[in-house]
Structure 1
Amino acid sequence: MKVTVFGATGGIGRLVLAQLLDAGHRVTAVVRNPAKLTLNHPELTVVTTELTDTDTVTEAIRGADAVISALGPSLKRSGTGSAVTDATKTIVAAMHTTGVSRFVGLATPSLADPRDKPHWKPKVLPLIARLAFPNALTELKNMTAAVTASDLDYTIARISAPKNTPSTGRVRSGFLGHDRIGSAMSRADIAAFLVSQLSETRYHRAMPAISN
């Protein structure tokens, strides 16, 4: 498959990129700072641009089978602005323009999926987030809404405690109140789940929570 990746220089995005290339996919990585991308591969194309540059983002997506976004907001309490929301809106618009419909991304259990049953996470986590990183919570809400309000064929994985630990190969996924989902998860396993959604149909237009 041909896949366009956003957030490819982040902790999860780098692993997504490596796993896609290892699996034989052709990948276009859209980055702001190519110096942060140390991976070199014959099937990798790097596009350097600001993520609000509609024309360049559109051309980076054109011809792709899917888009994977590992974008996420800064968790600094002092964070401001709407950079990730604006970038996601640009991506969604570019996907509509090019006719690419498959989107795989990330969010948080602070946001509910309609398939969830009553659960403590969507109640408690937003309270904590508003105190610890209020702008990040706003960004997560708005970037997710930009995708879910569209007609894209999306899967958004909700994660809560990514860890820099080795892959376990074990992934729990489902909906809060229905399935036994924990919190902590290896970034390598998060990346593996995102990549797996290129060929999975279970979570189309859904926001499963995932953990180890």
Structure 2
Amino acid sequence: MKLAIFAATGGIGRHVLDQALAAGHDVTAVVRNPQKLLSTQARVVVADLAVAEPAALQVAVEGVDAVLSGLGARSKSEAGVAWQGTRAITSAMRTAGVRRIVVVSAASIGTVPSPDRPRPPRHDPGDGFFTRHLVVPVIKKVLREHYADLARMEDVLHDSGLDWTVVRPPRLTDRPLTGTYRTAYGQNLRRGITVARADVAHCMLRALDQPETTKQTVGVAN
């Protein structure tokens, strides 16, 4: 399969890249800083998703079967890159006739207001009492700008007309790949507190072979 991987040097993107190459896929890695790439097997396209680069993005997605994105703000000052970058990516995909995209978001986003969902559900149906009333309120306050960015990114996908999948992990760890993580459609996982970045990457790649994940949010946790 021909894949374009955005933010391929990020915490999750680098695992997506390594696993995709190991599986024998033909990969284009889209990165801001190519010096951070540890692998030389992928075709590399340099693009800064914080600014619109339609020509570079068009080159990256032309002829691919699917796009995977680990795009997200690394600091408060970068908040906005997820939705703006995803808007540019999906625009390039439509122009190129590419329909399939899988992105990573975050477990709490289903309860975060956005322009298209100003009154989301108060609680995620998969969260237990402790998570709902203690963990989530604190995290949403600390990461308010990041979560607003991701919520708006999901709006972009819903409005794109493309075949999207959103993977929503809880707290990320650097534990090794297990391949035995749990998933749930449209909600978080009960007692799903953490998940390895490598497992999130595995889940994203696996979604490409699961048509039932199209236009779905997928909760994932170890």
Q: Give me the TM-score of the superposition, normalised by structure 2.
A: 0.84
Match for residue 46 of structure 1 among 38, 44, 47: 44
Partner of 1:91: helix, strand, or coil? helix
> How far apart in 1 are the matches of 2:169 and 2:140?
17
Residue aligned with 1:29, SS: strand
Aligned partner of 1:169 in structure 2 is 179
**Partner of residue 221, structure 2:** 211
* Alignment RMSD: 2.3
Q: TM-score, normalised by structure 1?
A: 0.88
Q: Does the CA contact (< 8 Å) of 2:71 and 2:81 recur in 1?
A: no
Instruction: Give the aligned partner of residue 10 of structure 1.
Output: 10
Instruction: Give the stretch that moved more between structures: 178-187 or 139-148.
Output: 178-187
* Mean CA deviation greater in 63-72 or 179-188: 179-188
Residue from 124, 137, 143 that aligns with 1:127: 137
Hey, which bits of structure 1, 4+ residues long, moved more than 4 A? 118-126, 176-181
Does 2:158 align with 1:148? yes
Q: What is the alpha-carbon distance in structure 2 between the residues aligned to residue 139 and residue 133 of structure 1?
A: 10
Q: Distance in 2 between matches of 1:143 and 1:105?
A: 10
Q: Deviations over 1:137-178 (max 9, x none)?
A: 111111111112221111111011110011222121014669
Over the matched positions of the two proteins, sequence identity in percent amounts to 33
Rounded Cα–Cα distance in structure 2 between residues aligned with 1:30 and 1:189: 21
Q: Are residues 122 and 95 of structure 1, via their aligned partners in 2, closer, same or farther at CA, if it must alter by over 3 Å?
A: farther
Q: How far apart are the structure 1 equivalents of 2:86 and 2:126?
A: 29
Q: Which runs of 5+ in 2 are unaligned?
A: 112-119
How many residue pairs get aligned? The number is 207
Secondary structure of 1:46 counterpart: strand
Contact 1:109 1:125 in 2 (8 A): no
2:146 corresponds, among 126, 136, 145, to 136
Q: Which residue pairs with 2:91 in the alignment? A: 93
The superposition leaves residues 78-107 of structure 1 with CA deviations (integer Å, 9 ceiling, x where unpaired) of: 435422221111001111111100000111
Answer whether contact 2:54 2:92 (CA < 8 A) is retained. Answer: yes
Please give the secondary structure, in 1, of the residue aligned with 2:217: coil
The reply on whether 1:189 has 2:199 as its aligned counterpart is yes
Distance 1:130 1:186, change over 3 A: closer
Consecutive unaligned residues in structure 1, runs of 5 or more: none
Q: Which residue of 1 aligns with 2:37?
A: 37
